[in-house]
């Protein structure tokens, strides 16, 4: 097996796993994958296939249009674009630069 930089990844073992995650509506999404163990990393990586199965990325990834379509579906026309759903403070310009220090200067 090789990494993205074409260096060899030494595999010391493998395990078949069932990974389950939940959508925002608590619908379970499950995938079965082979997990490889290596001394080359201490991280856990999910394959593109696993990410698709779990709904992390769309089936049409890496197409940009697919991401925009999914985003549009999440934010439908019924949403009021002027409604502050996240309770964010309104944007405004920054205050002017101070003309003096707010406290006495020290050496």
**pLDDT at 64 (0 to 100):** 72
Please write the tens of the pLDDT for every residue from 47-63. 999 999 999 988 888 87
Residues 57-87 pLDDT 10s: 888 888 776 555 555 555 555 555 556 567 7
Q: What pLDDT is attached to residue 51?
A: 93
Vertex 51 angle, CA 45 and 52, to 5°: 155
This prediction has a pTM of 0.54
CB 59 within 8 A of CB 69: no
Instruction: Give percent of the chain above pLDDT 70.
Output: 79
């Amino acid at each position: 097996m090789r990494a993205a930089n074409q260096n060899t990844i030494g595999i010391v073992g493998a395990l078949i796993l069932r990974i389950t995650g939940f959508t925002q509506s608590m619908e379970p999404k499950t995938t079965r994958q082979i997990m490889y163990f290596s001394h080359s990393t201490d991280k856990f990586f999910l394959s593109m296939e696993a990410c698709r199965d779990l709904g992390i990325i769309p089936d049409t990834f890496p197409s940009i249009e697919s991401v925009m379509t999914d985003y549009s579906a999440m934010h439908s026309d019924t949403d009021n674009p002027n409604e502050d759903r996240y309770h964010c403070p309104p944007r405004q310009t920054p205050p002017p630069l101070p003309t003096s220090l707010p406290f006495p200067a020290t050496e």
